[in-house]
Amino acid sequence: MEGLILPEGYKSALSLRETQKAIKVTKDTLQVSLAKALNLDRITAPLIVTQGSGINDDLNGVERKVSFDMLNIEGTAEVVQSLAKWKRMALYRYGYEPGEGIYTDMSAIRRDDYCDTLHSIYVDQWDWERVITAEDRNVEFLKDIVRKIVGALADSKDAVNKAFPSLTRTMEREVFFITTQELLDMYPTLSAKERENKIVEEKKTVFLMQIGDVLSNGEKHDGRAPDYDDWSLNGDILVWNEVLGCAYELSSMGIRVDSQALLSQLKKADAEDRLVYPFHKGIKDNTLPLTIGGGIGQSRTCMYMLEKAHIGEVQVSIWPEEMIKICKENGIELL
């Protein structure tokens, strides 16, 4: 099946019961480390928002949202695809100041995600957001935050290994920073994913910057919504997954758009009609605070930390029957 990676001779280092215990250790440890590193409070967050509010994440702009009508509430509800916009509004409502932030457990349904080794229609993330100043909107500040997040991830991996000695792999703490254009210049004949694999296999932990805009070859490295990340100040945290033998994304994050970046990116994306929404008006008129934020995949992180070969080994979701059969035949037991 497309996108299904079957490592030869794979056998989980943990039993099913050990896996469940290790998932809890991973989540508990990382939440504490991340909150401490970035000065974040944990808050509650929505599973559903109203259609037409402009709050839901449009991802690449083509994904269908899960929606439904309600018994005694007018309008249509949508299951969130991420909380990128909602978090920024929450920081404003709750009165957070520069250097302070929030994180939450985000659960989402992405019905148009293709189910494979790394992807599920159920998405769970630690979504976080922190207020910054105008002076913080620069690459060096972004890199400093990335280093803190990678440090928290590496500390958590060490803690999980200590709790479960059958886990033996470690995470590279030193981050290699590179832009998508620099990566294209290095490997002009390779595809975007091939370029990622090449650099991450060599450097092990990479922050790939400036995702969303068109590169010199006339293509985008990857799609990004135009109204949350500033495409010149964002990126993905990628690590080398030794079990799967490929580059592996743990987090997508970035400094968020200010008024100037929002207007520029909406124009490039032919999405200036979004300026009617309260969220976009709040950025345009500088009502909403300047922020940095992102999402860290919970199941993605657990899969990496617990040295698993399929995301379905650490989350309960729905999978194609053929995939369940093939995985079982290859030593991969989906929950």
The reply to whether 135 belongs to the active site is no
Q: Which residue is catalytic, options 31, 33, 110, 155?
A: 110
Q: For residues 218 and 63, what is the distance between their CA atoms, to the nearest angstrom?
A: 23
Number of Cβ atoms within 10 Å of the Cβ of 89 = 18
Q: Which residue is catalytic, options 12, 125, 210, 315?
A: 125
Q: For residues 314 and 14, what is the distance between their CA atoms, to the nearest angstrom?
A: 11
> 231, 130, 238: which is closest to 175 by C-alpha?
238
Instruction: Quote helix, strand, coil % in the chain, to nearest 5.
Output: 35, 20, 40
Q: What is the DSSP string of 161-210?
A: HHH-TT-------SPEEEEHHHHHHH-TTS-HHHHHHHHHHHHSEEEEE-
The reply to whether 110 belongs to the active site is yes
For 219, the token pair is: 């293509």
Q: Which residue is catalytic, options 116, 136, 249, 307?
A: 249
Q: Which residue is catalytic, options 252, 298, 299, 315?
A: 252
- Is residue 248 within 8 A of residue 198, CB to CB? The reply is no
> 231, 241, 31, 259: which is closest to 127 by C-alpha?
31
Q: Which residue is catalytic, options 12, 31, 33, 57?
A: 57
The reply to whether 252 belongs to the active site is yes
The reply to whether 249 belongs to the active site is yes
End-to-end CA distance of the chain: 19
Q: Which residue is catalytic, options 58, 236, 258, 307?
A: 236
- Is residue 148 within 8 A of residue 175, CB to CB? The reply is no
Q: Which residues contact 284 (CB under 8 A, 6 or more apart)?
A: 259, 262, 263, 275
Q: Which residues are identified as catalytic?
A: 57, 110, 125, 236, 249, 252
